[in-house]
Structure 1
Amino acid sequence: MTGPGVAWPRRAGQLELRPPTRVDLDGVLSWRNRPEVTRWLLRTTVEPEAFAKAWLDAVEDPDQHAVVAVLDGRVVATGSLDVHDGMGQFDGDVWRRSEGLLGYLVDPAYAGRGFATDIAGALLDLAFHELGLHRVTAGCFADNHASWRVMEKLGMRREQHGVRDSWHAELGWVDGYTYAILAEEWASPGA
């Protein structure tokens, strides 16, 4: 349900974050498969029905926090925080459901306005202050400057630079980055 006990909608700067509806996802699909959007995604074009089903199914999954970002009644971006087990020895279970994987995507008509940073910041607040996660990671192609700048702006650290570890349909083997932040390192923007 985008998380049991998680209150929606919530603010992220000028945006309202909330679980998606089918109508919202139809709006997202109006820009999601455009080349300027898919250029830096691992999953390039998506089949509309499968895409909508996956997002709507996520609304009912307590470990998936899939949201749309709304500005003046229009869906301008999406965000996600997927909770999963960390790595740990089987003696104890403190590592279970201790990590999150962060994602965000902005309609190109609204790019460059700080919305990805606002969405990611709100989801990091959710991860650490409400869900009690220990660590959150995110990844991107190294050439996706806009994405890694968002992560760095929020205090995430580059933990991995994979040399030619990522396949890109147009560019071939390219470098990839993985970023992370721990709960004790997170300070909400403006705090």
Structure 2
Amino acid sequence: ETLGMADRSSIVKQDYRNLSGEFDRVVSIEMIEAVGHEFLPTYFSKIADLLTTDGAAMIQAITMPDHRYSQYLKEVDYIRTRVFPGSNVPSISAMVEAVAQKSDLRPTNIFDFGYHYARTLREWRIRFLENEDKIAKLGYDENFRRAWVYYLCYCEAGFEEGYTGDVHLLLTKPACNLAKGFPA
């Protein structure tokens, strides 16, 4: 609204498999982790079906390094047990392979900013701790608050050490010409 673009964009909260329509752009922010490894091809196929012939999609995803991904699929960690049960953090290769399986999308750009995301998590933790009294008054008990601080530290360390990444994956349809830029 602030930028005067409210009439040109929408936020949709529903199962991606039930979406219909046609869009010139799709943005998915850290939702892919809820899709599951076996459904990655379906996810990218649906995005391709929703895009116009010159469309583009930007996917923000927490990622697991390729060399650890097959082992990760066999394990259960703190995040998948306590925070996001059933989640799957894909590798970049797993996403790119899934894109190729069932869509005409092509990966145009991949930018990993995971190291910088560690600072974001650190700042969130600092602000959380600075406001802990207010948070307690909202009804969050000490166990929850301690678990949340642990979660933020756990994730911060993962990004700082490169155990996890956070990427922007730009996918384009064959007729998308990025040299022309994005619509104004």
Higher normalized contact order (CA 8 Å, seq sep 6+, divided by chain length):
2
Structure number with higher strand proportion: 1
Structure number with higher helix proportion: 2
TM-score, normalized by the shorter chain, greater than 0.5: no
TM-score under structure 2 length normalisation: 0.27
